[in-house]
Structure 1
Amino acid sequence: MVLVRVIEKSDLYLKAIVDGITPPLINALRRVLISDVPVLAIDDVIILDNTSVLYDEVLAHRLSMIPIRTDLRKLPKIEECEQELVDPSLCQVRFELNVEAKEPTVVYSRDLKSDDPSARPVYEDMPIVKLVPGQKVVLEAYARLGRARNSVKWQAGLAAYYYYPRVNVVDKATDKCRVCMDVCNGALEIKDDGSIVINDVLKCTFNKWKACEQICPALRVGWDENKYVFWAESFGNIPIEDMVREGFRILKGKFQEFVSELELELSRGQAPSGGLPTEEEETTQATGEELGTTEEGFIEE
């Protein structure tokens, strides 16, 4: 049975202990959260006027890297957008940028005006370009729903995991062991008599525990093969709960698609001869079709 215990959570960050699954499954979830969870990102820019020092291409690239708040409840499913099952205009949001400098001016992400108030830059103070008096930038930009496997601008956040550390004390502490109190602050303490007390293994990552093991011979560090510390962090495009929920939905869909394809292959059954045709039979049949012959002889035209 799979057990999950959330140990830290905020609007953009989630950390949990996951117990009872294999590495391929938790790694699949990690990959989906990084590369498959969709968000909005500027993908098409129409430059109407640009007299700034930036080339049009550079300006468009800077716009594409601005994180855009994405409410997945207002947008179609990413699969519907990719397969063109819905109107493409429903999968995008239009922005306008119109700034003319009368004095030295910095154009910020907050100057982007959206047709949808809920879809706006996550960080409003991201600088886009500097303008001197007389320069201006006028453009239209379209943010589309996409996945990070196509471009990093569509990446919703990060996710990672490490094995749950298992730390055993096998001896008294030496002077070198005191370094571990700095490396793993609060995770352990050393008494006056040299005894080591493990306070909280989660206050130190698995890699740091292994580093302490090399320094301090009194520690033995192992791990649980099917128990992990898993964390995910959103870049701010979507709340962490929506990010994880969408990740599970997409991962479930991948499994269902795999099962459907497998059942389809199994339903086709065996070849009419009672088994799969041999390589020689396939070659003979293909050659006969190319030459216009059958088992009975040449085909009459």
Structure 2
Amino acid sequence: MSEEDESMSELEEQEKEEQEKETTYGKEDKRGGVLDYIMSLESVPPKLPPKLELLRTRVLCNNDAPDHTDTIQYSGAYASLGVDNSLRLDHFCKSFRVEVIRLEEDELEFDMIGIDPALANAFRRILIAEVPTMAIEKVLIANNTSVIQDEVLSHRLGLIPISVDPRLFQDLGEDNDYNEKNTIVFKLHVCCEQKAPRITVKSDQLKWSPYGSQFPLESKDSHPNASSKPKTYTSFSCSQDALPEFIKNPIGPKDSDIIIAKLAGGQEIELEALAVKGIGKTHAKWSPVATAWYRMLPEVVLLKEIEDEIAVELKEKCPVGVFDIEDIGNGKTRATVAKPRACTLCRECIRGGKEWEDRVSLHRVKDHFIFTIESTGALPPEMLFIEAVKILEAKCERVITELS
């Protein structure tokens, strides 16, 4: 082969290599952009050093106070190391997940993994203040001779959770037109006979009135038409118990043993209560949760082997039983972390001098949240979380629409 042919073959090989590089670069660009291609090069460190990675992903719970509690979510934080730390949608979709730990009738515990604290707190605030429910708003008192004042009695009635799906009702308009689509009416009439023992009025004595209010509306007309039906405080066009949603699920208080009042002999309460739709931001009685809270996942690390008497002492120091003791043979035992999730970060295990701080390290995982929802009973807790997701989604869509 001539020198000219050899030079031509070398040029062709170089061009082929360049084409392969461009093809590889193009594929990486389609998958994750230029940044992913750069991060795949050997000269770029694939991840942060262990020390920085610990500070980025963990809260260090020292003996006196937690440290490194801030979340670092901007791209330039570790730019000098070639690591992009910005929040990216593709990485979020891969890492985010929800794991249900415990589900009961009115309580739900689940893990939210791979999410920023701001979003976790947004769900908590929406659950408390923005998921709508039905609650007693207006009380029409015909007779109240008990020791409880009218306004206190009305307030107690408003705080009684009502077992009904609020999604079946509309919001009360500005015209205050109480009808079967936006109002639930309850009536209460209890009387204690003279010289009879004291009686307790409970929430199970609140009776659903599917036909609406029965109290006649006060009229300015001094000569009302006797043949016409007297107007009431509601304008129901049909009975609510005829609707298919309520045939098998009658409306009533969630709990039947909530004490409303106590009546002595000769005392009486007669009233009607009108429940409407609202949110907890307006008043706490509309909040669908007894509480909604979260905490970061605790992480307990033994920095060295803890054996024999010291292991027993460590187990006794923890009030919630995070540590356990296992037999390692030859008459020796050592401490192990049996239930790290139960850790409340009381820090008893690291108190007692520097020697204990050198044995045990306590952390919190910054992007792993243990979320607990306790429902008041209007909706099951898993449904409350779904409604909170829908509300947050609607907020995001509204912001995007206004910006565009």
Distance 1:55 1:107 in 2: 15
- Partner of 1:6 in structure 2? 100
State the AA in 2 paired with 1:246.
E
How far apart are residue 86 of structure 1 and its match?
11
How far apart are residue 211 of structure 1 and its match?
4.3
How far apart are residue 55 of structure 1 and its match?
1.3
Q: Determine which of 318, 323, 327 is the counterpart of 1:188.
A: 323
How far apart are residue 28 of structure 1 and its match?
0.3
Q: Determine which of 373, 382, 386 is the counterpart of 1:232.
A: 373
TM-score scaled to structure 2, two decimals?
0.59
- Partner of 2:231 in structure 1? none
**Kept after mapping to 1: 8 A contact 2:134/2:166:** no
How far apart are residue 96 of structure 1 and its match?
0.5
1:7-46 deviation line (CA, Å, top 9, x unaligned): 1111111111211111111110111111111111111101
1:47-91 deviation line (CA, Å, top 9, x unaligned): 111111111111111111111112134223xxxx26769975322
Distance 1:22 1:133 in 2: 59
- Partner of 1:298 in structure 2? none
Distance 1:156 1:137 in 2: 28
Aligned length, in residue pairs: 255
Distance 2:159 2:167 in 1: 23
State the AA in 2 paired with 1:66.
I
Of the structure 1 ranges 123-132 and 190-199, higher mean CA displacement relative to structure 2 is found in 190-199
Q: Determine which of 168, 189, 212 is the counterpart of 2:301.
A: 168
Equivalence map 1:38-187=2 (5 Å): 38-76=132-170, 81=171, 89=179, 90-102=181-193, 103=196, 104-115=198-209, 118-157=250-289, 158-173=291-306, 174=310, 176-181=313-318, 183-185=319-321, 187=322
State the AA in 2 paired with 1:98.
H
Unaligned runs of 5+ in 2: 1-93, 211-248
Structure (1 or 2) with the larger CA radius of gyration? 2
State the AA in 2 paired with 1:8.
R
**Kept after mapping to 2: 8 A contact 1:71/1:118:** no
Q: Determine which of 124, 138, 143 is the counterpart of 1:30.
A: 124
Distance 1:199-1:234 versus aligned 2 partners, 3 A rule: same
Distance 1:164 1:30 in 2: 17
Q: Secondary structure at the match of 1:138?
A: strand
**Kept after mapping to 1: 8 A contact 2:298/2:364:** yes
Unaligned runs of 5+ in 1: 264-301
Distance 1:160-1:45 versus aligned 2 partners, 3 A rule: same
The root-mean-square deviation of aligned C-alpha atoms, in Å, is 2.3
Distance 2:253 2:391 in 1: 25
Q: Secondary structure at the match of 1:118?
A: coil
How far apart are residue 6 of structure 1 and its match?
0.8
Identity of counterpart residues, as a percentage?
31
Of the structure 1 ranges 9-18 and 164-173, higher mean CA displacement relative to structure 2 is found in 164-173
Q: Secondary structure at the match of 1:91?
A: coil
Distance 2:378 2:399 in 1: 30
Equivalence map 1:247-286=2 (5 Å): 247-263=388-404
1:148-206 deviation line (CA, Å, top 9, x unaligned): 1111111211111111122211124436423344x222x3213464522112322333x
**Kept after mapping to 1: 8 A contact 2:315/2:335:** no
Distance 2:381 2:133 in 1: 13
